[in-house]
Each structure stands twice: as structure tokens, then as C-alpha cells.
Amino acid sequence: MKKPLFALTMGDPAGIGPELCIKIYQQITTSDIIIVGDFTVLQKTALEMERAPAFNSISSVKGYKPGCLNILDMGIIKPEQFTTGTVNRLCGTAAYTYINKAIDLALTNEVDGVVTNPINKESLQLAGVKFPGHTEIFADRTGVCDFAMMFLLENVCVAHVTTHCSLKQAIDLISAERVLNKIILLNKTLIMLGIQKPRIAVGGLNPHAGEHGLFGTEEIDHITPAINEARHLGIDATGPYPPDTVFMRAFKGDYDGVVAMLHDHGFVALKSKDFENGVNITIGLPIIRTSVGHGTAFDIAGKGMASADSLKRAVETAERLYQHKI
């Protein structure tokens, strides 16, 4: 199988994304990477890091050269236009431009998928971007309604039924249809990751998964019916399990994936276990999209301290999805 070619967005210029782009250079050997960003920002970052990669600034994918740090230069922002580690409207505009260009390349099959560096939501809002994050941007641009945020850590995948909304809104969004949809999407993605017969645990919404209706009826009214329908479709889904213990069981090897009802059910468990090595995947898209599992880390941006482990794993995960496309 040929080596896949991925578009890697530079992320927010004021964050650790530019540093990670430099650090990932020559670490990835089983796929080819084109960075969608700004050449002058990456050039200055490399100089500050005392690195001297073989830069290749290009205007199209056709200009790719093996062995180089290939940059599709968008010409949006220069280093003197922002301060590293701070919120900036122009940085939000730049980050949003990188994302849209990378999506364009994937939709026209010029690249085999997109890997994203972190963006700052406040900078996006200052730039007038209406979306709260990557997941919603990718869903809108690819025209899908059935999608989910999934997090991969070690050998456990977690899909979220609700993500970027208030807790009150999230509870109101729980329905049998939404839960079933996430079970189906998670099952398909696990197969794409090479797991032939995925074992999926479905977490509850309420403490103790509702305790048979004592602490809420969402499990009875919505979650259990979704699990039953998934099993009718041939998916090995079980639950609902208490959200405070289901992740422990998954990491012990009982399950390949977990469907979490709330953003913080999944992410608190995962990021408490290992903050640096998780990978974020948007599932349900017609294109491959993976991302680092952390944010822009403004507090350490520009200091050369950022770990590229999550980015490396995001690229490797994109490779796995590419190899098992269905």
C-alpha cells in the first residue's frame, strides 16, 4: 500500500502548534506530511528552537518534496503581528483558514486525510468564527449531521453523545436516536482501526446509571432502548454502566470502546489517566480527521517545552484509519 499523504494544520500561530510541526519533522516515516500554515512563522519558530529543517515552501500539493519540511504557505500572518501565548483575532483567522484549506485538499482527494494542531476558541470567536471547535467545523464543511467526537487513548476509544454545550443542554439532548447513532459510529470506527468485532460499553447519564430509575429515568427511557436496537443490528453493545467505573473496566481490557453521554464523563477519565498521548478523532465524516488531544498550551508556548507525542500518535492513528478504510 502506498504511503498516505496528510495535511497537517499549523494550529493557532500563538500556541504550541508551530513548535510541534518542527518537532514532528523526520519523526514520521510511514506517511507524508504537508503543513498548512505560514512559512515565516515556522521559520522563526525553528530558529528559536535552534533547528534547521530543510524547508520547502509550496503553493500547491504538487510541489511536495520528500525529505523536506513541506509547508503550504497561506500567507495569512507574520511573527511580528502577534505575541506568542496570547489570544489574537488574526491568529483565529489564520487557524480557521488553515483548517478550511486542509479540508478542501481532503475533499478534492489531493491528500488522504487531515491532522490538526490545537486552536484557541477565544481567538476564533474574536475572528468572527461561529463554530466552537474543530469538530463542528469539519461536520459543517463536509455536510454531515451524524458525527461525534471520539478520543483514543491506549487501546480504548471513547465517543461522546454530547460535547460543546452546557450541562443543562446536554441532558436535554440525550435521546435513543442520538445514543444509537454514536454506538453505530463508534462500532464502524473501531472496525476501521482494525478491530474486527468491537466490544462497546455504553455509559449511563446519571449517578450509578440511574439505579433503576431512583436517580433519573434517562437510562430507562433512552439509553437502554438504544443499546437493545444496537444489539438487534449485530453490534456487541452492553450497558448502561455507571460512568464512574466503566472507563476503569475498559482500560482493564473488558471493552474496546465506550459511549459517554457527557463531554466531561469521557474527557475527565481519559485526560486524568494520560494527558499527553491521547488522540482526538472526528467520526462520521467522509474524510479522515485526527488531532492532538490537548490545547494550545499558551502557558508554555514559545519555550520549546511542548511534547509532540500526541501529534505523532494522531498521525499514526490517521494511518491506521487509512489502511482500514471501508
16 touches 118 (CB < 8 A): yes
pLDDT at 26: 82
pTM: 0.88
24 touches 311 (CB < 8 A): yes
Contacts of 141 (CB under 8 A, 6+ apart): 100, 103, 107
pLDDT at 66: 92
* Domains of the chain in sequence order: 1-145+283-326 (3.40.718.10), 155-273 (3.40.718.10)
pLDDT at 192: 87
pLDDT at 174: 96
Burial 158-171 (b: 16+ CB within 10 A, else e): bbbbbbeeeeeebb
**Residues of the chain scoring pLDDT < 70:** 1, 326
Digit-coded pLDDT (tens) for 57-89: 999 999 999 999 999 999 999 999 999 999 999
pLDDT at 89: 97
Burial 46-80 (b: 16+ CB within 10 A, else e): bebbeeebeebbbeeeeebeeeebbbbbbebbebe
pLDDT at 1: 60
pLDDT at 155: 87
What is the amino acid identity at position 237?
A
Exposed (0-12), middle (13-18) or buried (19+): which is 113, by Cβ within 10 Å? buried
What is the amino acid identity at position 146?
D
- Relative orientation angle of helices 224-232 and 176-192, to the nearest 10 degrees: 50
